[in-house]
Amino acid sequence: MAKKTNLEIVDQLVAETDYDRYIIQLSKKHERAIETKDLTVTYDGLKYAMNPATIAFEKNKITSLIGGSGSGKSTFLRSLNRMNDDVATVGGQILYQGVDLNAPEIDVFEVRKRIGMVFQRPNPFAKSIYDNITFALTQRGKYSRVELDEIVETSLKNAALWDQVKDSLDKSALQLSGGQQQRLVIARALALKPDILLLDEPASALDPKSTMQIEETLVNLKNNYSIIIVTHNMQQAARISDYTAFFNMGKLIEYDLTRKIFTRPKVKLTDDYVSGNFG
């Protein structure tokens, strides 16, 4: 018999009646940060870039989304704060404290204030470090200089950047190193006091040392924030996350505690991926 392709394996898997057993369900005592119900994404209106995905993320935990290129993990992540609105059609529900964020009447800008996002490539504005952090705030409302100073300091401290830049807040953010820029971007997102932080491969463009610093930062942040992070790096997922969700070919395959995913996954495909047999 010919060896089955990944696609065939995935299709078969999803067709199984007890598919749900590969997706861990959060019990009542686990508080939920955000959950999706049958979330789908299509780019052309025909084919699913993301097949119906139902998944709940626990509050104040780090969840890793892993999978190869084109697995849909980034597409899924970007849908959570409606960053895909302009380019794709997103179906299903995104429940946040009981409200469906995917409903048409929801104001996307309000959503994004509560759900921050950090991208793969650091993207500070061509402004000073200080202005980078205060810009979004001052667009929204009135803050005194003292308040702004305080927010800048706490955000930068939370992102573990304060000590390095406290004397040069007026300097251009573009003069910082890549790792510093990425932490500035995290600080910028934190300044808005979001509930949830989405990160799309935040360390993949950085050197190992900066990567470690970002990881430390994230682990410290989870006391106050719920974090969902897309990563290519298996070790990273294993090191920092509490839960891991595995995507393949636009489908959510398996979701469980990180240690289970990495030690005894239920699906062979997951096992192959985390042990580096494909991807």
Partner 1 sequence: MINSKITNKVAISFIRILAGIVVLILAFLVGYILIKGLPYVSWHFLTSPSKSVSAGGGISGQLFNSIYLLVLSLLISLPIALGAAIYLNEYAPKNKFVSTLRNSIEVLSSLPSVVVGLFGFMFFVLKFGFGFSILSGAIALTFFNLPILTSSIENSLAAVPNLQREAGVALGISKWETIIHVIIPAALPSIVTGIVLASGRILGEAAALIFTAGQSSPVLNWTNLNPFSSTSPLNPMRPAETLAVHIWKINSEATIPDAVQISAASSAVLLILVFVFNLIARRLGNVIFKKMTAGGK
Partner 2 sequence: MNDELYQQLTKKSISTKKDNFGKRLSLFALILIGLVVFAILFFVVSRGLSTFTLDQINPFNFVFGTQWNPGKTDEAGNQLVGALPMIVGSFAVTFLSALVATPFAIGTALFVTEVSPKWGNKIMQPVIELLVGIPSVVYGFIGLAVVVPAVRNATGGTGFGIFSGVVVLFVMILPTITSMTIDALRNVPGHMRESAYAIGATPWQTIYKVVLRAAIPGILTAIVFGLARAFGEALAVQMVVGNSPVMPDGLFSPAATLTSVLTQGIGNTTDGSLANDVLWSLAMILLLMSLLFNTIIRRIANRRALK
Least distance (Å) between residue 41 CB and partner 2: 21
Nearest to 225 by CA among 254, 268, 189: 189
**Angstrom distances, CA of residue 114 to CA of 110, 119, 185, 228:** 7, 16, 16, 14
* Residue 43 burial by Cβ neighbours in a 10 Å radius (0-12, 13-18, 19+): middle
Q: Does 97 bind partner 1 (CB under 8 A)?
A: no
Q: At CA 87, angle to CA 127 and CA 95, rounded to 5?
A: 90
Binding site for partner 2 (CB under 8 A): 96-99, 101, 105-111, 139-140
Piece of the chain touching partner 1 by CB under 8 A; list 35-43, 123-131, 202-210, 252-260: 123-131
Write down the H helix ranges in 159-207.
162-165, 178-190
Residue number with CB closer to partner 1 (18 or 107): 107
Task: Determine phi and psi for 168, rounding to 5 degrees.
Answer: -130, 40
Closest to partner 1 by CB, 10 vs 111, is: 111
Site string for partner 1, 161-190 (x = CB under 8 A): --------xxxx-x----------x--xx-
Q: Which stretch binds partner 1 (CB under 8 A): 52-60, 105-113, 215-223, 268-276?
A: 105-113
Which among partner 2, partner 1, none contacts residue 262 (Cβ within 5 to 8 A by kind)? none
Burial 78-90 (b: 16+ CB within 10 A, else e): bbbbbbbeeebeb
For partner 2, the closer CB: 107 or 167:
107
Q: Which of 121, 232, 239, 260 binds partner 1 (CB under 8 A)?
A: 121
